[in-house]
Amino acid sequence: MNKIALGLIASALALGPVLPVAAQQEHVVEIVEVRGVIDPTTAGYLTETVDDAVESQAEVIVIQLDTPGGLDVSMREMVQKILRSPVPVVVWVGPPGARAASAGVFLVYASHVAAMASGTNLGAAHPVDLGGDLSGTVEQKAVNDATAFLRSLAEQRGRDVEFAEEAVRESASLTATEAQGRGVIEIVSPTIADLLRQLDGLTVATDSGQRTLVTDVSEEGQDRV
């Protein structure tokens, strides 16, 4: 059986620690780092993170993302977890120099709020086969499937549908500024701290209803970082 991957397996997986940040009135922000290949370990890590955030009644989950891509099945598991999360999930492609390629594009599109740092890029989501055998009819089916899936995420989140198709069919990529200009992401931010300031007061829709985020930890009311 062919294993379909979204992107090249080019670096080792690195999962950063979950860092709780308390904003005013103990509004907890969970900040996690996902760096490297998207695989079953990554998917399990995200599932556990979301479950913990729900249990702790976190304000928001911020995923700092830097990935070359990974397994389609693991990406889809992560996307489903994000879509169903009652806690808003923000995906920030960062720090500068990071990328969200292939499977990472789907995570960005699935997020409740999408953000990138300047000096990052997003795109090139054409499916590839880990065994090097993806061609002809099999390739076309994989491309059509990935295109339809990413388009559906774009429609659900109100993001650019045209780029969703270009990213899969043409391996198109965007810079942070281009992505914001085309409505693929909402925020360009150089750091997590700046991102939290920009998120503060933003209202997002989740499966459990509308949520207005309280994420500014820069005021005197903060207790810990």
The residues annotated with a catalytic role in the active site are: 102, 141
Q: How far is CA 90 from the centre of its chain?
A: 7
Q: 202 phi and psi, to 5 degrees?
A: -75, 135
Euclidean distance between CA atoms 44 and 192, whole angstroms = 24
Query: Can you list the positions of beta strands (E) in the chain?
Result: 4-7, 14-15, 19-22, 28-35, 60-66, 69-71, 89-93, 99-101, 113-116, 121-123, 128-129, 173-175, 187-188, 203-206, 209-212
Give the residue from 21, 18, 14, 93 showing the smallest Cα distance to 50.
18
CA dihedral for 126, 132, 135, 141, sign (positive or negative): negative
Contact 164, 153 (CB under 8 A): yes
